Amino acid sequence: MSQTNALFTYTLRLADDLLILSHRLGEWCGHGPVLEEDIALTNRALDHIGEARNLLTYAGELEGKGRTEDDLAFLRPERQFLNTKLVEQPNGDYAHTIVRSFLFDAYHLPLAEALLKSSDAQLAAIAGKAVKEAQYHLRHSSDWLIRFGDGTEESHQRAQAALDNLWTFTGDLFTQDEVHQAMVKAGVAPDLAKIKAAFDATVDTVLSEATLNRPTDGFMASGGRQGKHGEQLGFILAEMQYLQRAYPGATW
């Protein structure tokens, strides 16, 4: 795989995490538990979409086949999406939504901070904008996780259940395959062992304040980065891509 190909793939991985998570959070629009949270979640969704758009546009340029951000978002089949499986997991109850975002945020913030120093100027510039947003996202999801964990008996149980359910999807965040190793070598991407250390520190601090137990690492789901997804992603894409598939080139 050439360097440009690896960079294209790496950029898509970054973009797809954000695109798919933003779609999941967008599903809460109009259904939030309270008005203020409804707006907070859709705000986050918009932050993620904003970053995804920049990354997809850049990926299109890297590929050099004239594909736009919209082509990449709306016309790629499931097997070409390279998001980690964590972000495609269904919203579930609010504890699941919060835990999914918390686990992603605890990974996304140190990643964005590390990408500031990327040898790739474009990725570094995109990370520059993302860092501030990611700081707020992590604060928002941590606050809620602490409220749930250290809240009532029911909220504690639901938070722990969500954590236990979603933990299996955290391993893939830190898997370094050939593509990633090439990017680390080129100074584009950080060594994920460092990101994992920051992730572990955040998770341990927040979980201890939330009086929740960190699940033990058992079976860890993988494959998302190679385009192998659960059935959930198909449903997301069916909804997300319907309009462009039914009315190609439609604009408004």
Partner 1 sequence: MSNNPNNWPLWEIFIQSKRGLEHKHVGSLHAADPQMAIENARDVYTRRQEGQSIWVVPAEAISASQPDDAAMLFDPADDKTYRHPTFYTMPEGAKYI
**153 in contact with partner 1 (CB under 8 A):** no
Per the rule left: phi > 0, alpha: psi between -120 and 50, beta: everything else, 29 is beta
Minimum CB separation of residue 30 from partner 1 in Å reads 15
What residue type is assigned to position 70 of the chain? Answer: D
CB of 43 to partner 1, least distance (A): 5
Q: Is 94 in the site for partner 1 (CB under 8 A)?
A: yes
Residue with smaller CB distance to partner 1, 147 or 228: 147
Name the residue nearer to partner 1 (CB basis): 118 or 142: 142
Enumerate residues 132-151 that contact partner 1 by CB under 8 A.
136, 139-140, 143, 147
Least distance in angstroms from the C-beta of 139 to partner 1: 8
- The dihedral sign for the CA sequence 183, 63, 70, 89: negative
Shortest distance (Å) from residue 31 CB to partner 1: 12
Among 91, 122, 155, 181, binds partner 1 (CB under 8 A): 155
Helix (H, G, I), strand (E, B) or coil at 218: coil
Cα–Cα distances in Å, from 216 out to 165, 203, 244? 12, 13, 42
Q: Of 15-54, which residues contact partner 1 (CB under 8 A)?
A: 33-37, 39-40, 43
The dihedral over CA atoms of 164, 169, 174, 177, expressed in degrees to the nearest 10, equals 150
For the chain, where are the E strands, in sequence order? none
Contacts of 16 (CB under 8 A, 6+ apart): 52, 81, 82, 83
Residues that bind partner 1 (CB under 8 A): 33-37, 39-40, 43, 94, 136, 139-140, 143, 147, 155
